[in-house]
Amino acid sequence: MGAEDKCSARIMQVSENIVKVVYGGGKEETENSILISEDFKPESNLATNKYLCEGGRILFKNKRGEVVLEETGHSLTEKEVFTYYVDGEPIVKYKQTANGEVTYVENAVYKPSGTAYEGKLTFSITEDEGIYGLGQHEDGVYNYNGRKEYLFQANMKISIPFMLSSRNYGILIDTEGAMIFDSERGKVEFTIDTTDKLSYYVITGESFEEIIKELRCLTGRAQMLPRWAYGYVQSKERYKSAEELVNIVLQFRKAGIPIDCIVQDWLSWEDGLWGEKRVDKKRYPDLKELINKLHKEHVKLMVSVWPNMAEGGSNHQEFKEKGLLLPNSNTYNAYSKEARDVYWRQYEDEWFSAGADALWCDNSEPFSDADWSGETKRPEEVRYQLIVDESKKFMDWTRLNSYGLFHSKGIYENWRKTNNSKRVTNLTRSSYLSGQQHGAVLWSGDTSAKWSALRKQITEGIKFSMSGMPYWTLDIGGFFTVKDKWENRGCNCSDKKYKLWFWDGDYNDGVGDLGYRELYVRWLQYGAFLPMFRSHGTDTPREPWNFGEPGDIFYDTILKFIKLRYRLLPYIYSTAADVYQNHSTMIRSLMFDFAKDKNVKDIDDSFMFGKAFLVCPVTEPMYYEANSVPLVNTEKTREVYLPEHTQWFDFWTDKQYGGGQAVTCKAELDTIPLFVKAGSIVPLSRPLMYADEKNGEVSELIIYGGEDGEFVLYNDEGDNYSYEKGNFSAIKLTYRDNEKTLTFGKACGGFRYQENFKIKLIGGGEVSKTIEFVYKGEEEAVKF
C-alpha cells in the first residue's frame, strides 16, 4: 500500500479514486484520524496508481490518466508548544460574552511543553479553475481561486479542510488544526498553524457527485434524520416557561399552521447558572408533563445545551471534581470520552429521560469569543490570530478546529446506547468533516437581518454542501434584527446597552417594520428549500401571526410556503434517503448537475434542492425599505439562468422553457422563481399539520415530461433505526419520455410499500393525463 520515493513522502493509493500522502509522523499502521471513518477500509491489489513522482513533485491523475493536480511544495517547520497552567492559588475572573458567562484564570502562565510543526502544502492549479468548499464563512465568497480564507471555528464560521475543484478533484487536509488557505498566481497553499505531520488525501472523480461520494466513503456516512426534522421548526430567543411553549404550540394548531418542533433556547436553568442542564423548577415544574403535552399535539421539543457552565451549578461542580474541564476554563473537555459520557448523563438525567427529542448544541466552538467585542469588526487575519491564540490557552494546539466534532460524537454515541428507537437530531453551531455520522445539522450562527446577509447566506449554504457535509440551515429572518443593542443575559453586566459590531440588523422596529416583514418572507421562502426549515432570532417575535393575519400578504405567504414544505415532504424524505444510501447532496451547486455548461461555474445565488428543483431566492427589496418606507416603481422580477442540455418547467404555472438561457421571472412577494427539471418525478403529500400525520404516504406523483428520468421513492417508520436493518420501502421509478411510460420497479426493503397512486404527467404547460394505479410490489409499467 505504501511507497517510499524521492518525494520523501509516503504515498498510498487507498482506493481507485483516493490517494493519501503523508510527510513526517509515525508509521502508517499507528496513524489514526478523527476525520476518517472507522468503517473505511483501504482497497488492496489496486491495478494502477493515480499518482506519479517527478522532479520532487507529486502529480495526481484522473481515471483517464490526465494530470489534474500537482503538489509542488511542502514544509514542516519546528515550533515550540506551550501549556498554560496556574502558578499558586487561581484568580478566577468572570466575563459576560455573547455566548454566556465565561470564566478564565487571570494568573495563568505558560511553560514549554515540547515541539510540533507549522505545516505548509503548495499545489499548482490552473488560472481559470473554480475552487470551492472550505466550509461556511461570512463573506459570501464562492470561488476561492485567487482568494484567501482563514479556517478557524467561530460564530458564523464553520471551517472544513476540504477543497473541491472544477477540474473534478478534491483535497482533504487531514488535520484538526487551525489553517490558512491562500490562492494566487496559479497555486493554492495551505498553512497549518500547529501539526505533528502533514497528511492529505486527493480524491478524483468524473463529477462533483462522485467526488463527494468518495469523500463520504472516506469520512463517514450521513445519518437519516427523523421525518419530523424535515418539517417546520419554530424557535426564537427565547421561550421562558413550559406554559409559554405549550401555548405557542396550541396557537399554531388553532391557526391551522403546520409545525413539527418547538425550541427551548437558553436560560431554562436557574438564574445565574449558565449552562446547567437542570431546569428552573418554578418555570418548568414537570418536564415529562410539558413534553407529553407537546407530543399530544404531535410536536417535538428541541433543547438548547451548552458546553460552558457557570460556577455554582451541580453540573459544573461534577466536572470540576473529576478534573474533566479544559484547562483554565469552565468548559467540559469534549476530547475526553469520560467527560463526554458525563455530559450526556447530565443531559439525560432530566431532559432526555423526560422525552426531549433533539439537542441544540450552541457555542460548540467555545473559545471564539475573543473577536466578539468592540464597535468594529476586526480584519480577518487579526480575528484569526486572536481566536487561535486565545484557544491555545485551553486546548491542544493541534486540535483547535475539532472541539465541536467531539462534542457531537459524544452525544451521538451515548444517545444510541441509551435509546436506539429515537433518531439522533443535533443542531449544532460547529462540527467538522465526519460529523455527518453523528446526526448533526449545522447552522450558520448569529447573522444580522440585512438583505446583504441573506444574499451571502445563499452562497455560504451552497459552498458548505460542496465541502462534503449534507445538513445545513440558518436563522430565518437573521438572528439580530436591531442595531446597537446588548441585553443582560442573566449575568452581572455593568452595561445593558452599547454598540457591538455583530449586533447589526437594519430594523429597530422588528416585525412592526414592513421592510423587515418583506425581508423575513424572502428569507423564509429560501429556508423552505433547506435541509432543516427553522425560524429563529432575537429582538422581535418570529411566530407567523406576528407578521399579520389571514388576508395579509405577509402572513398568507408565510403560510403558503410552510404548507408547500409539507406537501414536498415525500420528495424531501426520499432525497434524504439518497443522502444516506448513496452519499448524495441536498443543497446542490449547479456544478453538480450541469458542469458541462460553462455559464454555471460562478452562479452562487441559485441552487438545486435535490435533483429536481432549481431554487432562485429573491435577495433585494421590492416593496419597502427599512422603517416601512415604500419603494416606488420597483420591478417585481428576478433574472434566472436556466442551465443548458435540459428543459425546465415553471413550478407555479407549468410553463416550459428551454435551457441555456436567462429568463426574467415574476417575483411578487408571494412567490419566488422555482423551476423543475424535465424528467423529474416529484412525489407530493396531502396537506399536513405535522410530518408523520400520513406516515409518509404520497398523494400524487408528478412527472415533468420532455426527458427520461428516475427517482427512488423511499419510506420507513420515520423515527427509529430499523431502516439500518432493512426495514424500509424503496421503489425505483423510471420514466421514458418517448414511450410515455412510468415503470415501478420491484419493491425493496421490509417496510410496507404504498399501493395506491395517482400519477400526473405534465408537458406543454398543462396536465397531459392523470392515471390511478394500484402497485402490487412487482415491476410494472404504466403507460400514458
Instruction: Give the pLDDT band (50/70/90) at residue 488.
Output: very low
Instruction: Find the Cα–Cα–Cα–Cα dihedral 597, 603, 608, 613, rounded to 10°.
Output: -80
Q: Is residue 458 part of a domain?
A: yes
Shortest CA distance to 467 belongs to which of 158, 218, 206?
158
Residue bearing the bigger pLDDT, 47 or 245 = 245
Domain end: 163, 189, 219, which one? 219
Instruction: Give the pLDDT band (50/70/90) at residue 85.
Output: confident
Residues 362 and 251 in one domain: yes
Residues 250 and 206 in one domain: no
Residues 161 and 116 in one domain: yes
Tell me, what CATH number does 242's domain have? 3.20.20.80
Domain end: 197, 219, 241, which one? 219
Q: In one letter, which amino acid is 610?
A: G
Residues 143 and 248 in one domain: no
Residues 172 and 238 in one domain: no
Q: Is residue 167 part of a domain?
A: yes
The pLDDT assigned to 106 comes to 72
Q: Is residue 136 part of a domain?
A: yes
Residue range 512-539: mean pLDDT, rounded? 98
- Enter the pTM of the model: 0.96
Residues 335 and 196 in one domain: no
Residues 183 and 46 in one domain: yes
Residues 272 and 213 in one domain: no
C-alpha–C-alpha distance, residues 253 and 259, integer Å: 8
Tell me, what CATH number does 61's domain have? 2.60.40.1760
C-alpha–C-alpha distance, residues 269 and 282, integer Å: 10
The pLDDT assigned to 100 comes to 63
Question: What's the domain range around 535?
Answer: 233-370+377-384+403-573
Domain end: 553, 573, 593, which one? 573
C-alpha cell at 604: 452562487
Residues 198 and 287 in one domain: no
Tell me: pLDDT of 248 over 80: yes
Pairing relation of β-strands 232-234 and 533-535?
parallel
C-alpha–C-alpha distance, residues 54 and 59, integer Å: 7
Residues 354 and 205 in one domain: no
Please report, rounded to a whole number, the percentage of residues in the chain having pLDDT higher than 70: 94
Q: Poorest-confidence range of 78-87, 180-189, 613-622?
A: 78-87
Tell me: pLDDT of 694 over 50: yes
Tell me: pLDDT of 764 over 70: no
Pairing relation of β-strands 232-234 and 148-151?
unpaired
The pLDDT assigned to 26 comes to 57
Q: Is residue 343 part of a domain?
A: yes
Q: Is residue 744 part of a domain?
A: no
Shortest CA distance to 614 belongs to which of 575, 650, 565, 574?
650
Q: Is residue 459 part of a domain?
A: yes
Cβ(459)–Cβ(260) below 8 Å: no
C-alpha–C-alpha distance, residues 441 and 280, integer Å: 28
Neighbouring residues of 608: CB distance < 8 A, sequence distance ≥ 6: 587, 588, 589, 590, 592, 593, 614, 615, 677
DSSP string, 517-555: HHHHHHHHHHHTTSSSEEE--SSS--SGGGG--TT-HHH
C-alpha cell at 37: 471513518
Residues 184 and 259 in one domain: no
The pLDDT assigned to 3 comes to 40
Count: domains in the chain: 2
Residues 196 and 294 in one domain: no
Q: What is the spatial order of strands in the sheet that 472-473 belongs to? A: 472-473, 440-443, 426-428, 358-361, 300-305, 261-264, 232-234, 533-535
Average pLDDT, the chain: 93
Q: Is residue 469 part of a domain?
A: yes
Counting every residue, how long is the chain? Answer: 784
Q: Is residue 272 part of a domain?
A: yes
The three-state secondary structure class of 389 is helix
The three-state secondary structure class of 16 is coil
